[in-house]
Amino acid sequence: MYKNNTQVVSVKLPSVPPMVENLVCKSKKEFLDVLAKALSKSGGAFAKVFGKVEGTPYYATLIIDREKVLAIEVLEVGSNASIVGRPAIEIMMDIVKSGSFIVDVFPLTDVELKVSIMDNMEVYSLTPKVRLEEICSDLASMVVKETPQEIPVSVPETTQIEKPKPKPQKPKTEIKITSPVEFDPYLRGMARKIKNALKGFGITPERIEIEAKEVRYALGAGKGLHATVRIVAKGLDGKAKREIENFIYREAGELSKEIGERVVISKIEFS
């Protein structure tokens, strides 16, 4: 749900036949390939994407042109909460990184695309105009280039070809959020920023947990979101911990402005 206005928005879709339905994509490249195919003969498209992020099911609806996302809404299936704006973009990025998701794609003519924008002006105005490459950030472009023909090279029998060494896998950070569902995307974004701040010290944390609950103050003083942050990471000295703590408090202040509700960091734990 978009916290800055108290209504749930919903993307309206035109009645057009699908190009593909219930297509299981197992990689970002497969997703971009099917979008590229739809966009090769149309001015735009809308897509429905169903996937899970850390076990939570989401249903995303996107309107796109040849280069970027024009409107996006993500439905958290369990609570039926509607998420738009930058948090919806971040959830969509997590869905396509999840390894397996289901896609429906509907090509739109130029006129149908413009009508769709007008019918979804509220969601359009809340959506950052992110390029499709950013959604699938490890792919450079949707443009399909011709593969140059390989020229056969004869190798003397005595020459030994060294096999490429497997690249070491980068350590991953587990992010766990326990909060009312409407705050999950915002706290998840905060956890990512903490992760990036730790990388500035050359440290990849094993786990970042944020546990938050909404507290209503007495005497009509309003309400706030009280959160505990737990960081599991090796190699943090005292100075780094203090800087990360200050970073978290600053981010809480920025988050308070974003959601229109006071965010209080009750405790920061390192282990």
Residues 12-52 pLDDT 10s? 776 788 899 999 999 888 998 899 898 888 889 989 999 99
In the predicted model, what is the mean pLDDT of residues 228-232?
94
Give strand pairing partners of 265: 227
Task: Please report, to the nearest 10 degrees, the dihedral formed by the alpha carbons of residues 182, 185, 190, 195 taken in order.
Answer: 140
Statement: the pTM of the whole predicted model exceeds 0.85: no
Which region among 58-62, 77-81, 101-105, 182-186 has the lowest average model confidence (pLDDT)? 77-81
pLDDT of residue 182: 85
In the predicted model, what is the mean pLDDT of residues 179-187?
88
| Integer Rg of the chain from CA | 22
Confidence of residue 162 (pLDDT cuts 50, 70, 90): low
Q: Does the pLDDT value for residue 1 go beyond 70?
A: no
Give strand pairing partners of 216: 223
pLDDT tens, residue by residue, 108-143: 998 999 998 898 888 888 888 888 878 876 433 333
Quick one: which of 24, 12, 117 has its CA closest to 64? 117
Phi/psi-derived region of residue 260, left when phi > 0, alpha when psi is between -120 and 50, beta in every other case: left
Confidence of residue 106 (pLDDT cuts 50, 70, 90): very high
Tokens for 71, please give them: 């409107």
